Every structure is written in C-alpha cells, then in structure tokens.
A and B are shown apart, each in its own frame.
Chain A
Amino acid sequence: MPRLRACRQCHYLTTENICPNCGSTNLSSSFTGIVVILPGRDPHEDPRKTSYIAERLNIDKPGKYALKVR
C-alpha cells in the first residue's frame, strides 16, 4: 500500500506526488493525527457551516486531512 503523505500547505492527505486539493508538491510523510471531514447530502455544501471540527480547522472541502504536519 502506498504511504500517505500530507500537504504542507493545506494538510490534505494523499498518496500522489501532487496535492489534489491545492496543487502543491510540498508533501511530507511525517504527520500526526487525522481528521476526516465527511461530505453532506449536497456534495458542494461548505462543511464549515455544518461541522464544528471543520469550522475550527477552517476546512472548506470534505476529505482526509492531517492535524499536524512537519
């Protein structure tokens, strides 16, 4: 299984070489903590309006994120 890597800019977790969320190539394999923001019934809804965790971490797109990236 390919190792997950976290984007240093947006904390998005990916197995690819480019972050699919922000397009950055600045990825790190050293991260701690995972946050999964799940989509609502409407996939284009802003999760910050419905989820406290997303609001607190300012995540505007559902997906898998790292809590802390080094």
Chain B
Amino acid sequence: MPPRTSIFAVRTTIGQERSVTDLITTAVIGEPDIWECPFCSEQFNSEEATREHMATCPKKKSTGEPKLVYKNPLLGRVKAILVPETLRGYVFIETEEYRDVEIAISGVPHVRGRVSGKVTKEEIDKYLVPKPAAEGISVSDIVEIISGPFKGERAKVTRVDAAKEELVIELIDSPVTIPMRIHADFIKLVEKATEEEVPAGEAEEEGEEEEESFWSRS
C-alpha cells in the first residue's frame, strides 16, 4: 500500500532553509509526550517511567492509571522535510494533513508563508532525482561560472566529460585562452551554440596548435 501522505511547500527567507528545517525537526522530535502520576502529580516523559514511579510513589493508592497530560501533535504525523537547494526559498514538508504543516511552522522564524495546494508527486520527483549536471551542455556553448574565483565570468565549452560531470572551458574575456577543468555544478548555461559556431571553435584550436609550434621552434 502506498503511503497516504501529502507534500506541502513552505516559503522561507532565502538562505535560511536549513535553519527552518532544523527548527521544525526540533519541534517534531525534541518534545516528548508528558505523562502524570495520578497520586502525586509528578510528570514523566513516558508511560513506562510513570508506571515505574507509581509502584514506589509515597502517596500510592490502590488504583490509578498514568494520565496523559500532553501529546506531541507532530510526532508521527510529519514524515519528512525536503530542502532542494536548487529551488531557493522553499522547503517541502511531507505530512498526513495540511493542519500538521500549520502546527509545525507556527512560531518558526524565517517562514514567509505557505503555498496553497499540494505538491504533486511528479513535481517532487524532479528534486528527488537530480538530473546530471552536465546534461544539455555541448561543445562551444557559452556558459557562465557561478562559483569559485572566476564567478561571474563567461566561458566557452571546449570539451564535455559526461561521466565525471566535468567540463573543459575557456574564458571569453581572457586575452590568452587557458583551458580550465570545472565541475558542471558550478556553471550555468547562457547560450546554446548555433550551427555556424562549431567550425569557429575548431579554427580556434588550430590557432592554439600554431602557437605551440612557434614556441617549439625557438
């Protein structure tokens, strides 16, 4: 039988997704149920601990049952929290009902609001199985570097290593073309290569070879 749960999206402050996740996690697993001894009103975290105490309670009477004072409303109802860092500012919560989300996020800082409606399983699958980073990038595409010392620079792809998810790129603005090896996670596709651009890239490579032969001659 498939699990009968629904997934809801919660909007958060960008960059605070992890702290929201940690606080919801604490709300779910950090608060135990509270049981009370019927004779002396002392409180315990579990039914067993209360029964153990009742056996030796100084105010013990003949009959009595442990009293459940507070039951954690979230434990067992909130199943999972998903933070796909590719979608900034959103956290997905898998719960049994919508009101569990309301309870879970009440009082949590950096929560900006809820998204109405359920998130379909197909939409969630896109985040659960991330597609290979090098997919859709081919030789002589223009890409932008989004992380590291060359952040913000544009570059041209000269080789794609799909197995390692690595690319060999050359910076466009650099006067000397230096091939660089970079992980495909750190680049963003800006422009797909047009058909005419491919031979241009090959011509560039030939130029490089000539340069090498010049140095070998000297």
Contacts and interface: CB of A to CB of B under 8 A. Distances in A.
Contact of A37 (B3, B80, B183): B80
Given A32-B185, A38-B25, A41-B75, A54 B130 contact: no
Chain B CB within 10 Å — which of A35, A36, A40, A68 has the most?
A36
B79 A47 contact: yes
Interface stretch (B82-90, B148-156, B210-218): B82-90
A41 B76 contact: yes
Given A50-B3, A51-B94, A52-B2, A37 B79 contact: yes
Given A47-B79, A52-B7, A53-B82, A36 B25 contact: yes
Contact of B130 (A34, A50, A68): A68
Given A34-B21, A38-B81, A67 B76 contact: no
Contacts of A57: 128
What is the interface of chain A mostly: helix, strand, loop, or mixed?
Answer: mixed
Interface string B92-134: 0010000000000000000000000000010011011010000
Interface string A45-64: 00101111111110000001
Interface of A: 32-41, 47, 49-57, 64, 67-68, 70
Interface of B: 2-3, 5, 7, 17-18, 21, 25, 28-29, 75-76, 78-86, 94, 121, 124-125, 127-128, 130, 183, 185
23 contacts: A32-B185, A33-B84, A35-B80, A36-B81, A37-B80, A38-B78, A40-B79, A47-B79, A47-B80, A50-B3, A50-B5, A51-B94, A52-B94, A52-B121, A52-B124, A53-B80, A53-B82, A56-B125, A64-B25, A67-B84, A67-B128, A70-B183, A70-B185
